[in-house]
Structure 1
Amino acid sequence: MSEEYSVEICRELEGRFRAANLHRPMRISHYDAGTELTYDVTGFADAEPARVKLLVDKFVGGGFAGQV
């Protein structure tokens, strides 16, 4: 009997992984809708640092071997 995919369970597992303070980085295979990603970026022309926040609208698939 298969269970439905649960974003809440994935987030709970991610929280537990991070709380364990492991040296091995967590590998994320895809991001669910509603996930906010934050990145530090630097411009090309003026090299000013900035921070961007992106919100995942929906997961559209990883393609063949993650090449998409």
Structure 2
Amino acid sequence: MSCGRTRGLSPLFLRIDSLHLKWKRYISKTNQKKKKIDITYMYWQNKRALLEWQKEIVTTADEGN
């Protein structure tokens, strides 16, 4: 009885398993894209911070003179 039950369920489990794998692949792909976006965002954030910092240096140097 139990054997027949598992045999009946196995295709369903296989289907769920393949869906799970597809979902995992999809998530990993989107995460890779997200990482790229995060890196470019961080780059621009740092660049902006650097420019602001340079402005501050220039203004303090002007005030010093």
What's the TM-score, normalizing by structure 1? 0.25
> Radius of gyration: which is bigger?
2
Going by fraction, where is helix more abundant, 1 or 2? 2
**Larger relative contact order (C-alpha < 8 A, sep ≥ 6)?**
1
Higher strand share: 1
